[in-house]
Structure formats: C-alpha cells, structure tokens
Amino acid sequence: MTFLLSVMLWAQEVDSSGPPAYIRMTQDVMDAPVHRHDWSGPLRHARNEAVFVFGLMYWVYKNFISSQDIDSCVFTPSCSTYMILAIQKHGVFIGFLEGMDRLTRCSPFANGHYPINPQARKYEDPVD
Amino acid sequence: MKSGRFLSIIYSLLALTLQAQDVAGTERLADTFMRRGQYETAFKYYQRAFFFASKDKAPELYGKMGESSLMAGKYDFARQYFHKAQQIEQNDSLRAEWFLKKITAVVLQKRFKLALLEMLNYRGPLLPHQRVYAEYLKGLSYFGMEKFDLAHRHFEAALPPGDTLARQRLDRLFRRKNLMRPNPATAKWMSMFVPGAGQIYAGDWKNGLNSFFLNGLLAYLILRDAYTYSFWDSFAGIFPWLQRYYTGGYQRAEKIAKQRRKEKRARVFRRTYDLIFSSSANTQTE
C-alpha cells in the first residue's frame, strides 16, 4: 500500500530532467502565439441543407473577403458571425432577419446602447 | 458503558502519538507541493513556515516564496521575494542565486531593459554555472531589445569554451537569419504600391494573392462602371469598397510581417536556448 502511494506521488512529481524549471521557463519568452481562426464550424454543424449553404457562404466570406477588410464592425460577435449564429439557432428565415437587423444597428451610433466587452473593445451583442 | 470507557482510553492513548507540525515539517510539506507542481499551495506553506521560523531562515524562505510565485506565473511577487532574499542573504553564492532568479522573473515579464540594467549593475561574485546563466540572461535581454549582435556575443559567452561545434552552429544561426526581416514597414509600403505584394514579401502567399485579386476585381469594376455609366457612378458605388479592401490589405501586410518576424525570432531563440542548455557542460546549472 505504501509502495503504491509512493509510486503515485512519484508519478505526480514534476519532471526535473535538464536545466532547472525556472531556466526552462525562459525558453518560451520570445514565443509568438498564432491565433488561427477556424471558420468551418457552421459547415460542420449544419442541421440541414439551407443552413449548410449559409455556412458555406460564411466560410467563403470570412476566408477570402472579410480577412482582407479593415476591422470596421463595432460589435462582438461580428455581424457575419452573428448572422450565422442566429441562423443556426433560429432557422434560416428568422436568423436571416435577425442578421439584417444587426447590420442596420452596426454603426457608430450604437454608442451608449450596449455594454462594452473589454477584451474585444467592442460592443457586446450576443444572439438571444 | 464499558465500551465507552474503553474507547476513551484508546483515543487518549492515540492523542499521545500526535505532535504539532514544526517549521521544518511545514517546509518539507511545501517542498513536496513544489515538486508536485502545486505552486500556490506550496507558497502558502512557505508563508506559514516563514511566520514561525527564526530570522536566519528568512532569506531561504523568501527565496522559496519567490520560487513558488515564479512557477505560479506571479512574476511581480517573485521579483519582490527574490529581491528581499538577495538583500538579507549573507552567503555570496546564494545571494547571486537569488539575484539571477529575480532577473529571471523580470525577463519573464519581458522587461528586458530593466533586466539588463540590473545585470550590468551587479558587482557580486558568480560561480561558473551562475556566470553561464548570467551571460544567457544578458543575451536574452539584448535579444528582447532587438540588439542581436550583442545578444549573439553574450550567448556565445554562455557556451562552454571547448564546444566549437555549438559555437559554429550559433554563428550560423545568427549570420544566416536576418532577424530584422520581414520588415513590417516595408511590407506595408509594398502593399500600398501593389496590393498583396507586402503579404507575399512576408511569406504569406495565400493572403497576398487574395488581396491582389480582390483589389484587382474592384479596380476592374470601377473602370467598367466608369466606362458604362459615369465616373461619378463608379466613384460613389464601388470606390468605397476598394478603399476598404486596399486599406485592409496594407494594414494586414504590416500585421503579417510583424507576426512572421516574431515567429522567426522565436525559432532562432529556441535553437539558441537548446544549444546553450543541451551542451553537456551547461546541463548542470544548479
């Protein structure tokens, strides 16, 4: 029993091979983490063909058009993401209308009407 | 009734085997938590040990609190504890150890100038393995400040004197890779002249071609509308789109170049680290 406990504790202990841990920590100091977005979620989780078509349009837009644009949307999630999330949640018809409604609200006049997301530094407006 | 009396005797006898946890026991427990990677718990136990310990244990316990804070990612606390340990430590080599760990915390905060300033002002003696680490830290600080020639010199000094192969590798690493490239400003200007050129210069062909064709298509639509309808029609209808994607393109070229340059520097630094600490003479650094 004692032997088993010792083995378990030993297995839990941090690897101490090579230089000490505080030196090993410095090897990551110059790292530049890459934030790669994966826009294929709506494609993979489409529940019917219509949602799949919208998912495909979203994927093309995000990869080839939006990726070249200036960051002009004032909301988080962005209008395109909002629309695809609304379509996924409420179906094509209602979701599309909600997305169009969001587009009409996306302007500098949104100031003061929405809480601010401090990380994104944008107005927070999730899909209901 | 009889069994109750019997149990109370048994429990009273068991109580004789109990003892209060002493300072050494608390410290040992904290050390175990450290080895198991439970740094925040270890810190609490070191704090407890510090509270009850005698004054002569203070530098060591300050140092250990610094170590647990460092490992927990609380670099500011770590720096403060190592500094206290360094200030009151009587032993020269231990003082140097706390100092180097303090600089490690500063470097991990990416405050390279401060780290270098402290390193250059340090006048205490260093053991051979501490000198290696000090040179590495100086190199790292210069590297973070983009002074790559000086960084190269200090990294070279951190290598074991007889290891010519590692020295050659380090030379090759720093001479072959131009760590100032891709230049974000160049990428931006290139994309201003030819959309997509800056992205391609930075090594991102997909985004470069994407930007080139998108801007090309919009420029074609402007010309076509101007020819078919009127200049003002095309200016009002399509020019705002072109302006968006053209601006987005050169801003993105700058971002991509910055990211690629960071990645390149990170790769070179990782290989330098491996060269220094995989050298057989430098593996025993503690």
Report if residue A10 sits inside a domain: no
A53 within domain boundaries: yes
Q: What pTM was computed for the model?
A: 0.79
Task: Quote the domain boundaries for residue A109.
Answer: 37-124
Residue A5: per-residue pLDDT: 42
- Residue B245 to residue A29, Cβ atoms within 8 A: no
Helix (H) or strand (E) holding B179: none
φ and ψ of A117, to 5 deg: -85, 110
Measured CA to CA, the distance from residue B26 to residue B44 in angstroms comes to: 10
Q: Please give the average pLDDT of every successive group of 10 residues along chain B, which has 286 residues.
A: 70 62 84 92 92 88 94 95 93 94 95 95 91 94 94 93 88 86 94 96 94 95 93 91 94 94 93 84 52
Q: Which residues of B touch A (CB under 8 A)?
A: 32, 35-37, 67, 70-71, 101, 104, 107-108, 110, 133, 136-137, 140, 143-144, 207, 210-211, 214, 244-245, 247-249, 251-252, 259, 262-263, 265-266, 269-270, 273, 277, 282-283, 285-286
pLDDT tens for A55-76 read 999 999 999 999 888 888 999 9
Closest-CA residue of B relative to A18 is B283
Residues of A within 8 A of B70 (CB-CB) are: 22, 25
φ/ψ of B278, rounded to 5, equals -95, -10
- Please state the domain count of chain A: 1
Q: Is B238 helix (H, G, I), strand (E, B) or coil?
A: coil
Report pLDDT for B1: 54
Give residue B158's pLDDT: 93
- Chain B: give the shortest CA distance to residue A78, in Å: 16
Task: Name which of A20, A32, A68 is nearest B211 (Cβ-Cβ).
Answer: A68
ipTM of the prediction:
0.78
Residue A94: inside a domain: yes
Nearest chain B Cα distance for residue A51, angstroms: 26
CATH 1.25.40.10 fits domain B22-158:
yes
Does any domain span residue A18? no
For residue range A3-50, list pLDDT tens digits in order. 444 445 445 554 556 788 899 999 988 887 877 788 888 888 888 899
Q: Is B245 close to A68, i.e. CB distance below 8 A?
A: yes
Measure Cα distances from B54 to B21, B61, B87, B244 in Å.
15, 10, 17, 68
Residues A15-27 have pLDDT tens digits of 556 788 899 999 9
The three-point CA angle B109-B113-B118 to 5° equals 95
Interchain proximity B259–A34, CB inside 8 Å: yes
Q: According to the model, what pLDDT value does residue B202 have?
A: 94
Distance of residue A13 Cα from the nearest chain B Cα, in angstroms:
4
